[in-house]
Amino acid sequence: MSDERRQRLYFPLRLSEAVRREAHEMAHDDCLSLNQFISVAVVEKICRMEEANRRNQEVKGHTIRPWDKSNVARH
C-alpha cells in the first residue's frame, strides 16, 4: 500500500482512556465498531456546524438561495 493511500486510510486519534472506554461501550451497544462510531460522530458534528453556519448567515441576511432568482445579478 502506498504511503499516500495509507495516510488517507489511517488517522491516529488520541483519546483519554475514559473517553475511549465510554465510546467503545456506546459503539458496542449500537452494534458498531469503534471506528464506525467515531466516523458517525464526526459526520454528525460537521452537519450540526454546517447547519449552525447556514442559520447564522440567514440571520445576517447573507443567504443566497439557489431557487431565489432575485439574488442573480442581471446584465
Domain-embedded: residue 51: yes
Q: Can you say whether the dihedral through the CA atoms of 33, 34, 36, 40 is positive or negative?
A: positive
Domain-embedded: residue 42: yes
The answer to whether residue 28 scores a pLDDT higher than 70 is yes
**Based on the structure, what is the number of domains in the chain?**
1
Full-model pTM: 0.63
Tens-digit pLDDT profile for residues 57-71:
877 776 556 555 555
Domain-embedded: residue 45: yes
Full domain range(s) for residue 43:
35-63
Residue 24's Cα: distance from chain center in Å? 19
Confidence of residue 44 (pLDDT cuts 50, 70, 90): very high
With beta carbons less than 8 A apart as the criterion, state whether 65 and 55 touch: no
The whole-angstrom separation of Cα 33 and Cα 63 is 38
